[in-house]
Structure 1
Amino acid sequence: MAVLWLLLVAGLPTFLLGVFVWVVIQHLPSAEMPSTLKQPAKLWFMHCIIQYLIALGNILEKLRICAMPRFLRFLQGLMMIKKDPNVLVTDTHFGTVPVRLFKPKEVSSKPHRGIIFYHGGGAMTGSLGKELPFELLCSFLSVCMVYRKLPDYHHPVLAKDCLNASIYFLKNLESFGVDPSQVVLCGESIGGWAVANVMQILPSIPSLPQIQAQVLIQPLVNLINFQLPSHQQSKNVPILTRDTLLMFMCKYLAIDLSWKDAMLSGAVIPLDKWKNFSKWLSYDNIPRRFWSQDPQPEFFAPFNEAAYLETKHVWSAEISPVLADDKIIAQLPKTFLVSCENDILRDDALLYKKRLEDQGVPVSWYHVEDGFHGCLILFDKKCFSFPCSMKVVNAVVSYIKSI
């Protein structure tokens, strides 16, 4: 028995090192670092660490020890959240949804502005308040909601949790000391997708206070056209590569990964549907300055009916919010959109921007030339922070304070 333990102790570091070397070899040649990215070596290292942890999680999952998403959340839970003596932090539930409330300790005679925040993480990771910009915590009453995630929960649980918890909060604003006329809905990445989804429903509930503004940071609003310029230009840019995006989304939408290539090539797109929705989804909706010098035209593979039947639910506005009817888009509140140049989802933000503007919704847009997907959550990570992280935080805080 002692020999077995000795072999295990000696072999584990070798195994872990071997997996890391394999990840580095796999991602070193494929990772692309555009010239606008700052500190590319640090970003590439972080990308390798993330892919390394995903690889370890997949190994644990195949060994039936632990599901990969649970492994990632366990590691994230070890991270300490930043504390401030001026902020009162309370963990509670809105219905069945866990939330963390951040409220300034300073007593105010006036009601606070309220911020509802949906975190990112691809429906796999994300936790209570670790992604909230700290400036929001100090200035407003902020609510971070933690929806149920993979592997146990799939679509539409994420959106329903966000909607139900938001309704609970809006019905009880007075008890939280929040001004009903100053509530902002904010989300990052898939949290931005949740904002778009929830905001297409809330205005139809007349008994609720109206949301003052929505803030979508690097949102995902299109699960149909993967041939947009940013999907071509940033498909291998850390931290969110095209393969990682498809893995997260297919798992959340319960789509078998064997259909990934059909989705990427457009083989799942029927001609009649494309004729109806290309006005909102096509390459032509992206400003030409974001096109490549030698743009690759949209050229979809021959239609695959079997692939379409397995993926057809992506054609609903519930999954691809950019497809919502004009009358739903027109009732949305003023909007702040954040996009990053080196983000595979850059053009999702641009599609939604045009969609909103065409229906007369006031839109403010902030574009980060040296930004990449997920840079927001690194804003206070010291040596792992990037200049673009603070740019996004400052832009969001300045916008919310200005409305």
Structure 2
Amino acid sequence: MGLLYAILLGAGGMIAIGFFLLLSWAIYYDLSRSNIPAGFDHPLKLRFVYDILILMFAMGKILEVMGLCRQVVFVRFLLDLRRLAMDPSLSSKDLHFDGVPVRVYQPKVPSAGLRRGFVFFHGGAGMVGSITMYEDVCRKIAKESDSVLVSVGYRLAPEHLYPAQWKDCFAATVHFMQNAELYGVDPSQIIIGGDSAGGNFASVVAQQLVERSDLPKLRAQVLIYGGFQSMDFNLPSYQQNGRVPILFREKILHFGLQYFLKDASLSHDLLKGSHVPDEIRLKYGKWVSPDNIPEKFKRRGYERVPLAPYNPDVYKQLPELHQLTFSSLFAEDAVIRELPETLIVSCEYDVLRDDSLLYKKRLEDNGVKFRWFHAENGFHGVLNLFNIGFLSFRSGIEILDNIVDFVKHL
């Protein structure tokens, strides 16, 4: 018995030492690679969150190298660990809409009439994130806006390649629109929205629905710090926030290539812009231009970087990047004009900030009614950090409060 105890104690000690070394490496990696601007509130708190994420991905990579588990599966598992007590004012039910897993949240208090419906697409680069991970976000929106909310569990890459993600979002939305009254929802009062990759999917679904005359028109869309173009990765926000946790510019390229199962070595060509054909530069350059970014967003530093000469070999490997179902900013004016009322959310310290500003400009130029909320101390992913104790960030609460207010006043 004493020998077994000594073995277990020794194993525990080795694990503790290994974890300490891994944590030390994560802190070193953070301090040596990231750059949090001087004006940002709570930099230490952000570093702590980022260090946890570094640890998660590093542990996942170790398990993958050992042949025990793929990194992405391990990260998904950890992100789904958090559990919350169900709000007694809401009911929830797991269903399938046209084969797509969804969770439907409904207020228990009877309504005098049909309610609004909100279809939510979670973020996570199309590779992580889930209904469970976004449960607290969805509950808050459903409860405080008195809406029936449908959280969509679309298929994830790399197991399911593009365009599976937005197509699942589209299928679930269409099903809900066709059956809205079964859930006490007015089919003319349906909103779609999402954050990060989910914001991209929402913009694509809204554009696709413009062509569907057999369905009710969307009442609104909510686009939360999404990515809407893959043409220029040297816009002001990409330069200013390229090393701000939790999403670096290099990680956007890395995750994007993983999402499409492409060679990671292409990231350098993407950064330079050599993947963009001359005809696309000519056609879309007027929309993806730093000239469309207000000057106040260039004050933290910006140097114009022209796109590198076009390389056909690179483009042939990445044709999906310029499709309208990925780069939704490229939609024609005739489609943009038909979009519903929109809430655009951007964050000052987000590498994707300027994608939101450019999409907002498209809406403004085409007379689409919109509201814009800019989180002055926000960063990418802050929505998920609105209620986790001492690691909560006020910007996450402000974003959710603005979403609720937008929905309630439609």
Please indicate, yes or no, whether the TM-score normalized by the shorter chain is above 0.5. Answer: yes
Compare 225-234 and 271-280 and name the one that shifted more. 271-280
Following TM superposition, by how much is the alpha carbon of 1:301 offset from its aligned partner in structure 2, in angstroms? 2.9
Conserved? CA contact 1:99–1:128, under 8 Å: yes
The secondary structure found in structure 1 opposite 2:161 is: coil
Counterpart AA for 1:71: F
**Equivalent position of 2:389 in the other structure:** 382
Conserved? CA contact 1:100–1:144, under 8 Å: yes
Conserved? CA contact 1:118–1:195, under 8 Å: yes
**Equivalent position of 1:185 in the other structure:** 192
Once the two structures are superposed, residues 170-208 of structure 1 have per-residue CA deviations (whole angstroms, 9 ceiling, x without a partner) of 111111110112111111110000001111111211221
**Equivalent position of 2:236 in the other structure:** 229
Following TM superposition, by how much is the alpha carbon of 1:7 offset from its aligned partner in structure 2, in angstroms? 6.2
Compare 327-336 and 126-135 and name the one that shifted more. 126-135
**Equivalent position of 2:109 in the other structure:** 106
The equivalent position to 2:170 in structure 1, one of 154, 163, 166, is 163
For 1:255 and 1:288, how far apart are their aligned partners in 2? 36
**Equivalent position of 2:352 in the other structure:** 345
**Equivalent position of 2:142 in the other structure:** 137
For 2:379 and 2:50, how far apart are their aligned partners in 1? 12
**Equivalent position of 1:85 in the other structure:** 88
Following TM superposition, by how much is the alpha carbon of 1:4 offset from its aligned partner in structure 2, in angstroms? 8.2
**Equivalent position of 1:36 in the other structure:** 39
Following TM superposition, by how much is the alpha carbon of 1:367 offset from its aligned partner in structure 2, in angstroms? 0.6
Q: Which runs of 5+ in 2 are unaligned?
A: none
Residue correspondences, number: 403
Counterpart AA for 2:104: L
The equivalent position to 2:265 in structure 1, one of 258, 269, 272, is 258
Following TM superposition, by how much is the alpha carbon of 1:49 offset from its aligned partner in structure 2, in angstroms? 0.8
**Equivalent position of 2:206 in the other structure:** 199
Once the two structures are superposed, residues 316-360 of structure 1 have per-residue CA deviations (whole angstroms, 9 ceiling, x without a partner) of 111100011221111111111000100001000011011122222
The equivalent position to 1:362 in structure 2, one of 369, 382, 389, is 369
Residues 293-312 of structure 1 mapped to structure 2, 5 A cutoff:
294-312=301-319
Compare 336-345 and 87-96 and name the one that shifted more. 87-96
Conserved? CA contact 1:99–1:145, under 8 Å: yes
Counterpart AA for 2:99: T
Gap change, CA 1:293 and 1:169, over 3 Å in 2: closer
**Equivalent position of 2:340 in the other structure:** 333
Counterpart AA for 2:404: V
Following TM superposition, by how much is the alpha carbon of 1:82 offset from its aligned partner in structure 2, in angstroms? 4.4
Over aligned residue pairs, what C-alpha RMSD do you find?
1.8
For 2:381 and 2:247, how far apart are their aligned partners in 1? 8
**Identical-residue share of aligned pairs (%):** 36
Conserved? CA contact 1:313–1:319, under 8 Å: yes
For 1:207 and 1:309, how far apart are their aligned partners in 2? 36
Whether 1:243 aligns to 2:250 is yes
For 1:323 and 1:207, how far apart are their aligned partners in 2? 25
Counterpart AA for 2:101: P
For 1:101 and 1:308, how far apart are their aligned partners in 2? 41
Following TM superposition, by how much is the alpha carbon of 1:299 offset from its aligned partner in structure 2, in angstroms? 2.2
The equivalent position to 1:124 in structure 2, one of 124, 127, 138, is 127
Conserved? CA contact 1:100–1:129, under 8 Å: no
Following TM superposition, by how much is the alpha carbon of 1:209 offset from its aligned partner in structure 2, in angstroms? 1.6
TM-score, normalised to structure 2, is 0.94
The equivalent position to 1:287 in structure 2, one of 284, 291, 294, is 294
**Equivalent position of 2:78 in the other structure:** 75
For 1:7 and 1:263, how far apart are their aligned partners in 2? 48
Q: Which runs of 5+ in 1 are unaligned?
A: none
Once the two structures are superposed, residues 276-315 of structure 1 have per-residue CA deviations (whole angstroms, 9 ceiling, x without a partner) of 2110111111111111355211223343332222123211
For 1:76 and 1:130, how far apart are their aligned partners in 2? 6
Following TM superposition, by how much is the alpha carbon of 1:23 offset from its aligned partner in structure 2, in angstroms? 2.0
The secondary structure found in structure 2 opposite 1:204 is: coil
Conserved? CA contact 1:133–1:379, under 8 Å: no
Conserved? CA contact 1:233–1:292, under 8 Å: no
For 2:292 and 2:335, how far apart are their aligned partners in 1? 20
**Equivalent position of 1:47 in the other structure:** 50
For 1:300 and 1:360, how far apart are their aligned partners in 2? 30
Counterpart AA for 1:47: Y
Gap change, CA 1:179 and 1:227, over 3 Å in 2: same
Gap change, CA 1:4 and 1:264, over 3 Å in 2: farther
For 1:67 and 1:163, how far apart are their aligned partners in 2? 29
